[in-house]
Structure formats: structure tokens, C-alpha cells
Amino acid sequence: MRRLIVLSIVLSSFAASPSPGAERPSVPATRIAGKLHVDGRLDDAAWAAAPAIDAFRLAGAREGQIPAESTLVKVVYDDDRIVFGIWCSARRPLRASLTPRDRITDGDHISMHLDTDGDGQRAYIFGVNPYGVQLDGVLTGDPDFKWDAVWEAEAQRGDGAWTAEIAVPFRAMRLPTHATRPWRLWIRREVSAWNEVASWPLLVESQAGGVMLQAADLTGLDGVNGGKNLTVEPYVFGALLGTRAFDGDGVASPWSHGEADDAGLDVQTSVTPSLALNATINPDFSQLEADRLQIGANRRFPLSYPEKRPFFLEGGEVFQSPLNLVYSRRMSDPDWGLKWTGRIGGVRTGTLVVRDAGGASLAGVGAGPWGLSQRGTWALTRETLPYGNGQGVGLLFAGHVQDAEDPAAGGTSTSNALMGIDAQGRFSDHWSYESQAVRSESRFDVDDGEGGLRRESPGGAMWVARLNHSSRGAEIGLGYRHVGEHYRNEIGTENRTGVDYRRVNGQLNFFPKAGPFQRLSLLQGCLLIHDHTGRLDYGEFTPSIDWALRSNQFVWTAMQFMREHWLSRDYDTPRFHVYYENNVWRAVSFAGDFDAGTGVWYGDDDASSYSVWQETYDLSATVRPTAWITVESTANHLRLANHAGDPSLLSVWLVGAKTTAQFTRRLSVRFYPQYDSDSRHMVLNGLAGYVLHPGTVLYVGVNSGWDDVQRREHLTSRQVFAKASYRFQR
């Protein structure tokens, strides 16, 4: 580990700066007097004097070509807001819908990416579609649309074009206290009918580093100030519950009735324009819709679920690192929490402290006992120093202290701590690297084999080094990761310990100038995982072909040659994999993912473990009969058998169909049934929602559970609930 720390520092200190290339484009934001009325019409006199951005070019397969549709954007600002005026030609019918907020990426839309720090490391995303539906998020690596802010957008659809205005208050963003660099701006427009993505400036996908390193300078904003921002957001939740059971003869017991209620408070304030402090009491879980069902049968490793709670989502990107060490749903039942995120000088900083009632599964945290977490305290801090052009070094510290289960009986608390250092950067426009080294220290009790407990205090290390090359014609990725035998991370996930990962990926890209294919890629992936004795624990060799058709269709085919060690035996598990996606029609789009070949039945011992035939199907379809109704259906299937044509040893279907009626941008109704054939259980979720803006919402819903009783589905649980929250902001 010491070697990797030294290597990280050396790489970050001596990595060659990428060649400067062409001078970065620049556009001024025009100062206006008074308030501009946001209605999406672009008829305000303030737009006349602002310079236009119109040199959009295609990204992707036809990189640098002139797009089929023209786009024009202007930027103005006043004392409190930055405002974008947008004009988009539309020679083909628009492919867009009246959908819930942030659900516009599968249709026509345009988005502004604003890097207020000007260092190319992070950006806010503000987008809109032709129906005025908003999209916001944060861009660090891949875009994350879980972040929400309060801002304005309106759009107007006309003959052969649509227009929009986006107005973002400065206080919705974190601004540098003393700006030393201009902001950066990157604009992305997607036109589904033409299968085109156009951007300004042109995004050269073969360049190493993040998107915002290629963004333009947005000048003229040196004097703006977000000011102090105070947000107070209380919520209340109430539900009426009912359950009943059935005996062996199918006779129902009387309904058992109950009530549930909850309330909490989130507060956010600006310590400085670039640093925010969040506090929460009993944070809102936002579990208005159940997590999407996942197949848990015959799995070697535990399932994971996405974070949905606003307190953990706000500023969550600050805690990201090359090894993705944080899985915040380990903090399952917080009593209270404190967090600050933002910048102090040139350092991007984030600190989180949560007091938690426990009850989360610790499955997959690495070495040592798993079980359930106890009441305790979580702490996490991440500091990152960006410098140069897309380079940076970072530190991460995390800790989890669990209270003694029975202090009166002499019980003592258990703990887990994590310390890490990382570095990322570029050697040139095409070569990039990232590295991270982490040390864990733990203290927990284990069974001593004599009816008592023995205290253990193991320490473990994990480190990674990755090197990547990217050009238009070829991509190469090399990686090595070591996980120590005693490594444990209770705030994250690590399924294997005492292993070394070696990964090599290669890709050749071809761009035919004619014919049905827009891009053809030949890919080769190789992954080897060896344990500390040198034995192969898992190996995978995957040649594949990826086709992108001009007609909005995508195909990926692969042959996976795998060997897996389970308990004391090796299993060869070759499988064929094909994925197909069709977006030719806006009214109906669909995708299918099929995998078939040899698998492993994971028994408790060698005698009950053996090779099986395995098939998996993941099917999805989206139907839009009107611009305001969307039906999203999914079907996931796992089948195991002794041989391909034999009767099933295991056959599980998960089926769901979510229907959303979006009457206005604020008012919607949703109906979502999901069925699990393994447990023979169906969940029905109905929800009516009115969202004035993020944080100010009213929801009323019903949840029902249906279970199989003597081969018939019977209603076994029902719930009627309401939730309301209001965001006070000044």
C-alpha cells in the first residue's frame, strides 16, 4: 500500500499536462436590467443584444458534422439569475412527452452544463424538453439526475421549431467565494427522430478526461454572488394499515388494522456561497414507490438498491472516488444527520455524520461477520484538491461505531474505520490514469467455539491502479486491484476479500460512411480474479460486437467464456449474450437482453452444488399512446435446468407495468403492479401526486399486497397513505 501511495503522489505531481490544442471557445453572458419574464417565447427585448451560440456540431459516430437541426442559444443574467434563451428547429415531428420531472432523456431535449468553479471537474445540469418539463442533475463522471433544485423553465412549440427559456437563481448553485476563473459552459441537444446528439462546443469523445474539460468559457459573471440561502423543509407522513392471514384451508382471518405516522425536518443553509450545511431530523425516505423487484434466487452476492433520500442525495457526488467506497443505504434508519459539502478555497470538501438506529444488512462489507447493523454512529469525510487540467488528489476517511448490544452484561462497542488516498489525471489528450489506496481497521466479536466471544482487531488494505487510452478508432483499458484478506468497509460494498483483480479491455471502432450501420465496434474484455494463494477464483474472456444502426436501433452480441471457483471446485460456464434495443418509433420502444449457457447452482456444500443450464431474459417496452400517458413494462426471467431441454429446477418471473398519466407538469397519477412468481406475491401501488416544485409536494397513495393461497391470489395487506412536505426558502 505504501508503494501505491508514493506512486499516486508521483503520478499526480509529474504527469505531463495535456497538449493545449485549439484555444477554448468563449461566450459572454450579457447583463440585463430588471427581470426577464420567463414564458419560453424569446420575445423580450433583452434577447436582442445578447450574442448567439449557433455553431453546434454532432458528437458520436458522425463527430464534427453539421446536424440536421439548427440550434441557437443566448445567455443573459440579472442580479439574481442566469437565463438561457433557446431556439431549436424541428423539421421532423417532435419526439417528446409531458412526463415527470427528470424523465426526458429518452426524447428531444436540450441541456445546459454549468461549471461554476471553472476547473472542468464538476457541472450542474439544467435541461428542458419541448413541453417545458425540467431536467436537473450533477455531472462529475456520468450524469446523475437525482439532485433537484428550484428554478424556472418554460417552452413553446411552434411550426417547424420550438423555443424555451431556462432561468436558474444563483443561490441554487454553489459559487466560488473569490472567482479566479471564468465559468465553463457546455450545451447538449438530443434529437431523437434523427438519432443525433449535437453539442457546443464540439465534444471530442476520444479525448481523455471529463466532458467539462472541453467546455467553453462563460465570461462576464465575475461579480455575481449566490448570497445566503436558507431552506427549511418539514414533511409529514400518515398511513392506515390492514393485514390478514389465511389458514391451510384457505379461510381468512379478520382484518387487523393499524396506523403509522412519521415526521421529519431537513434544513440547509449557506455557510459561504460555495459551502452548504445540511441538517436533518428523521430524514425523509421518499419511499413512495417500492424498489423495483430484483431476482434474489441462486445469487452468490447480495443485492443492492439505489439511494432515494434527499438528505443523502444532496452533494452526494462529493464523496465519490475511483473505488466507489460509499453505499449510503447502509445507514438505514437515521435519527439525525449533519453534512456539509462544497469548497473551501481550492479544496472540494464533504463531511457527513449520522446517528442511526441500525437494522441494515451488512452483507457484502468484506471480511468479518455480516449480520445486521446495530444502533451507532456513521462518519464520512472526503477532501479533493483539483489542479491542472483534469487532475486531482483526494483523501477519504470513514468510520462506523456500533453501540454495545448489552452494556449491562459487559458488552463493548464494535467499530470499523477506513482511510484512503487517491489521484487522477491525464498524461496526454488520450492517456489518463487513476489510482487509490485504502486501509481499513476493524474491531468486532466472533464466536470463540466454546460458547463465548473473542474480540478481533484485524486490519486490511485495498488498492487500485488503472490506465486508459481513448482515441476515435481504438480504446484500451488496463487495471489492477488488490483486496486484502482482512479488508472490511461497513459504509460500502466489497464482496470478495483476499483477491487480486486484473482487467484488460480493448475496443476497435469503425464508422461506415454508407449503409445501415452508424458505428461498428469490436470489443474484447478479459478479467482474472486470483486469491492470495494464486488460485483462479473467477476468470472471464468476452469477445463481443456492438452495432449502432442509423435507424435508432442497437445490437450487442457476446460470447462469454468463464471459469468460477465455488467452495472447493471449478466450474466452466460459457454463455452467449445478445442485447437488442429499438427506438425507431416514439409511440412504442422496446429492448431485450438474453443470456444463455452454463451456470452454477450455489449450494451450501460441494454435494449440493453443480453445473446447470441457465437462461436469463430482461425485457422492457415503453408505450406512449398520447403525449401525457406512458406505460413502462418490464419482465425479468431466470430459468435453471440440468440441461437446456430439461424441466426447470428453478423458474422465476418478475413482471411489472408502470402507467403514468401526467396531466400537467405538476399533477400526475401513477399505477404500478409488480409480481414475483417465486414468492407468488403481487404488489399494487397507486399514487396521485402534486409537485409544485422540489420539496413542496403532496402525495396520496394506496399499496396492496396479494399472496397465493391454494393457487389463488388473495388480498393480504392494504395501506392508504398521504405525505406532504413544504420547502421554505429565502
Concatenate the DSSP letters of all residues of 295-331 into one string. Answer: --TT-SS--------HHHHTTGGGG--TT----GGGS
Lowest-confidence region among 122-136, 171-185, 399-413, 655-669: 399-413
What pLDDT is recorded for position 407? Answer: 57
702 in the same domain as 670:
yes
Q: Tell me, yes or no, whether 118 lies in a domain.
A: yes
163 in the same domain as 84:
yes
Question: Does residue 154 or residue 294 have the better pLDDT?
Answer: 154
Across the range 668-697, mean pLDDT stands at 94
176 in the same domain as 253:
no
Shortest CA distance to 322 belongs to which of 436, 425, 419? 436
Q: Tell me, yes or no, whether 328 lies in a domain.
A: no
Q: 704 forms bridges with which residues in the sheet?
A: 684, 718
Q: Tell me, yes or no, whether 587 lies in a domain.
A: no
Across the range 454-478, mean pLDDT stands at 93
What pLDDT is recorded for position 219? Answer: 95
pTM beyond 0.85: yes
Per-residue pLDDT for 652 more than 70? Answer: yes
Across the range 675-697, mean pLDDT stands at 93
What sign results for the dihedral spanned by CA atoms 140, 142, 144, 145? positive
The number of folded domains in the chain is: 2
Of 163, 195, 219, which one is at a domain's C-terminal end?
A: 219
**In which band, very low, low, confident or very high, does the pLDDT at 634 lie, cut at 50, 70 and 90?**
very high
What pLDDT is recorded for position 62? Answer: 87
What are the CA-CA distances from residue 55 to residues 86, 198, 213, 438, 711 (Å)? Answer: 14, 10, 18, 45, 64
**In which band, very low, low, confident or very high, does the pLDDT at 710 lie, cut at 50, 70 and 90?**
confident
What pLDDT is recorded for position 412? Answer: 65
204 in the same domain as 242:
no
Torsion angle in degrees (nearest 10) through CA of 368, 372, 377, 383? 60
199 in the same domain as 89:
yes
Separation between Cα atoms, residue 148 and residue 135, nearest integer Å: 8
186 in the same domain as 96:
yes
Per-residue pLDDT for 653 more than 80? Answer: yes
Question: Does residue 450 or residue 492 have the better pLDDT?
Answer: 492
Per-residue pLDDT for 122 more than 80? Answer: yes
Of 219, 246, 274, which one is at a domain's C-terminal end?
A: 219
Separation between Cα atoms, residue 392 and residue 13, nearest integer Å: 10
Separation between Cα atoms, residue 58 and residue 64, nearest integer Å: 5
Lowest-confidence region among 83-87, 90-94, 112-116, 248-252: 248-252
Beta pairing, strands 391-402 & 26-28 = unpaired
Separation between Cα atoms, residue 31 and residue 591, nearest integer Å: 47
84 in the same domain as 214:
yes
Q: Tell me, yes or no, whether 456 lies in a domain.
A: no
Per-residue pLDDT for 22 more than 60? Answer: no
Per-residue pLDDT for 35 more than 80? Answer: yes
243 in the same domain as 163:
no
Q: Tell me, yes or no, whether 251 lies in a domain.
A: yes
| Cβ proximity of 131 and 190 under 8 Å | no
Of 169, 187, 219, which one is at a domain's C-terminal end?
A: 219
Across the range 481-509, mean pLDDT stands at 96
Q: Tell me, yes or no, whether 322 lies in a domain.
A: no
Per-residue pLDDT for 7 more than 50? Answer: no
What pLDDT is recorded for position 514? Answer: 86
State pLDDT tens for residues 601-614. Answer: 999 999 999 999 99
Across the range 245-271, mean pLDDT stands at 91
Across the range 22-49, mean pLDDT stands at 91
Lowest-confidence region among 134-143, 398-407, 531-540, 661-670: 398-407
Task: Say whether 372 sits in a helix, a strand or coil.
Answer: strand
**In which band, very low, low, confident or very high, does the pLDDT at 712 lie, cut at 50, 70 and 90?**
confident
Residue 316 sits at the vertex; the CA angle it makes with 314 and 319, to the nearest 5 degrees, is 150
State pLDDT tens for residues 387-429. Answer: 877 789 999 999 999 998 755 555 567 999 999 999 999 888 8
Looking up cell 436469463 gives: 616
Q: Tell me, yes or no, whether 670 lies in a domain.
A: yes
Question: Does residue 383 or residue 292 have the better pLDDT?
Answer: 383
Q: Is the peptide bond before 694 cis (omega within 30 degrees of 0)?
A: no
247 in the same domain as 215:
no
| Cβ proximity of 545 and 521 under 8 Å | yes
127 in the same domain as 237:
no
Lowest-confidence region among 280-284, 446-450, 543-547, 611-615: 446-450
Per-residue pLDDT for 18 more than 50? Answer: no
Tell me, letter by letter, the H, E, C secondary structure of 180-232: CCCEEEEEEEEEHHHCEEEEECCCCCCCCCCHHHHCEEEECCCCCCCCCCEEE
190 in the same domain as 249:
no
Q: 296 — alpha (psi -120 to 50), left (phi > 0) or beta?
A: alpha
Q: Tell me which DSSP letter residue 366 carries.
A: B
What pLDDT is recorded for position 480? Answer: 98
Beta pairing, strands 712-725 & 696-709 = antiparallel
Shortest CA distance to 353 belongs to which of 422, 277, 437? 277
Per-residue pLDDT for 21 more than 50? Answer: no
Separation between Cα atoms, residue 396 and residue 398, nearest integer Å: 7
Domain range spanning residue 668?
Answer: 233-260+663-730
Q: Tell me, yes or no, whether 90 lies in a domain.
A: yes
User: Would you tell me how many other CB atoms lie within 10 Å of the CB of residue 256?
Assistant: 11
Residue 546 sits at the vertex; the CA angle it makes with 504 and 324, to the nearest 5 degrees, is 45
**DSSP string covering 533-579, please?**
TS-EEEEEEEEEEEEEETTTEEEEEEEEEEEEEETTEEEE--EEEEE
What are the CA-CA distances from residue 292 to residues 17, 110, 649 (Å)? Answer: 45, 29, 25
Instruction: Please give the single-letter amino acid code of residue 340.
Output: W
Separation between Cα atoms, residue 267 and residue 234, nearest integer Å: 8
What pLDDT is recorded for position 5? Answer: 47
241 in the same domain as 165:
no
Separation between Cα atoms, residue 671 and residue 663, nearest integer Å: 14
Per-residue pLDDT for 182 more than 50? Answer: yes
Can you give the CATH number for the domain in which 58 is found?
2.60.40.1190
Q: Tell me which DSSP letter residue 53 carries.
A: B
What pLDDT is recorded for position 290? Answer: 66
What pLDDT is recorded for position 388? Answer: 76
Task: Write down the mean pLDDT value for the chain.
Answer: 91
Q: Which residues of 226-240 are buried (b: 16+ CB within 10 A; e: fewer)?
A: beebebebbbebebe
